[in-house]
């Protein structure tokens, strides 16, 4: 598969960071870890991967701005372009030796997502998408799952971090969804949750309390795999609100409706 120059730049940065993560994953007990908030950890591995991505992307596209989980916003001379980067999505899994984590890199041009890469180094799975060009896993074209009934669907979700004021809302949502679907999963890395929906491995997904870097690349994967997305209010403010519901057209509609249902006794 011939990739565009832009995707090549992103893939190179993601894979180089992925190799650094794989090395650190092999000796996770030696890493320095600190806490950003309750249940929210950051390690040397996150920062090393972020430094690699920052250096690679700055070299390849001087002047583009950044939004990165650990550095925050970094303004560039070019205000038309912004990289949105999570250097290690799934830090909790990573620190516990669970091989479900990823590098996530997206590019916004004039406020619109135009390219996205999610790389899971432990499985060597590379997800790529460019606006209008389809979504791929390694060389395979992706398509969201075709199941249309919630009762057949496996749905992914995210559990809000300890200390985030969203637990009550989550439990209501979970109870509503559990009554309708065939199975629920919680991978612990939102970028991979979205990649799995794009790949048709999971039929749908929802989570609230996310950040733009968790979802920007995965959102484009889903759109380019023929899927549907909205925030929890049915709008398109996923990056700003950090809430997201996804699936094929029918699952997205059914899931969004189920999530909003008031709880029955
Ligand atoms: C987290 C993961 C997790 C989600 C959390 C995120 P991090 O990202 O994506 O699945 O539930 O809300 O913060 O901190 O491991 O990059
Ligand atoms: Ca984090
Ligand atoms: Ca993340
Ligand atoms: Ca992260």
Task: State the virtual CA torsion across 165, 168, 171, 176 in degrees, nearest 10.
Answer: -120
Answer yes or no: is the C-beta of 242 below 6 A from any ligand 1 atom: no
What is the 87 CA–ligand 2 centroid distance (Å)?
9
Same domain assignment for residues 200 and 238: yes
| CATH code for the domain in which residue 195 is found | 3.40.190.80
Same domain assignment for residues 11 and 125: yes
Residue of 70, 90, 118, 191 to test ligand 1 pocket, by largest number of atoms within 8 Å of CB? 90
Q: Whose CA is nearest to atom 15 of ligand 1?
A: 90
Per-residue DSSP letter, 119: E
Domain stops at, among 115, 141, 167: 141
Q: What's phi and psi for 38, nearest 5 deg?
A: -60, 125
Q: pLDDT tens for residues 151-169? A: 999 999 999 876 667 888 8
Residue of 39, 189, 207, 213 to test ligand 1 pocket, by largest number of atoms within 8 Å of CB? 189
Answer yes or no: is the C-beta of 49 below 6 A from any ligand 1 atom: no
Residue 99 resides in a domain: yes
Residue 39 is predicted with a pLDDT of: 81
ipTM of the complex: 0.98
Q: Is the pTM of this model over 0.90?
A: yes
Residue 163 is predicted with a pLDDT of: 65
Residue 265 is predicted with a pLDDT of: 46
**Phi-psi map region of 118: left, alpha, beta (phi>0 left; psi -120 to 50 alpha):** beta
Residue 162 is predicted with a pLDDT of: 64
Structural domain for 190, as ranges: 150-259
How many domains does the chain divide into? 2
């Amino acid at each position: 598969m011939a990739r565009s120059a832009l995707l090549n730049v992103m893939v190179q940065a993601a894979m180089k960071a992925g190799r650094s993560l794989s090395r650190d994953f092999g000796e996770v007990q030696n890493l320095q870890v600190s806490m950003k908030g309750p249940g929210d950890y950051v390690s040397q591995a996150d920062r090393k991967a972020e430094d690699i991505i920052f250096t690679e992307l700055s070299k390849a596209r001087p002047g583009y701005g950044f939004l990165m989980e650990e550095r925050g916003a970094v303004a560039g001379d070019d205000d038309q372009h912004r990289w949105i980067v999570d250097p290690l999505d799934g830090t909790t899994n990573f620190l516990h030796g669970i091989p479900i984590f990823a590098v996530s890199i997206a590019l916004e041009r004039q406020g619109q997502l135009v390219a996205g890469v999610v790389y899971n180094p432990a499985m060597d799975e590379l997800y790529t998408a460019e606006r209008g060009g389809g979504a791929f896993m390694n060389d395979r074209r992706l398509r969201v799952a075709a199941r249309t009934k919630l009762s057949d669907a496996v749905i992914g979700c995210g559990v809000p971090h300890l200390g985030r004021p969203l637990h009550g809302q989550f439990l209501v949502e979970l109870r509503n969804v559990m009554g309708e679907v065939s199975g629920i999963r919680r991978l612990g890395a939102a970028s991979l949750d979205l990649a799995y929906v794009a790949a048709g491995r999971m039929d749908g997904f929802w989570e609230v309390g996310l950040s733009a870097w968790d979802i920007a690349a995965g959102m484009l994967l889903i759109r380019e795999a023929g899927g549907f997305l909205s925030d929890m209010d049915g709008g398109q403010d996923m990056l700003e609100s950090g809430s997201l519901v996804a699936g094929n057209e029918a699952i997205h509609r059914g899931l969004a409706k189920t999530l909003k249902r008031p709880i029955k006794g």
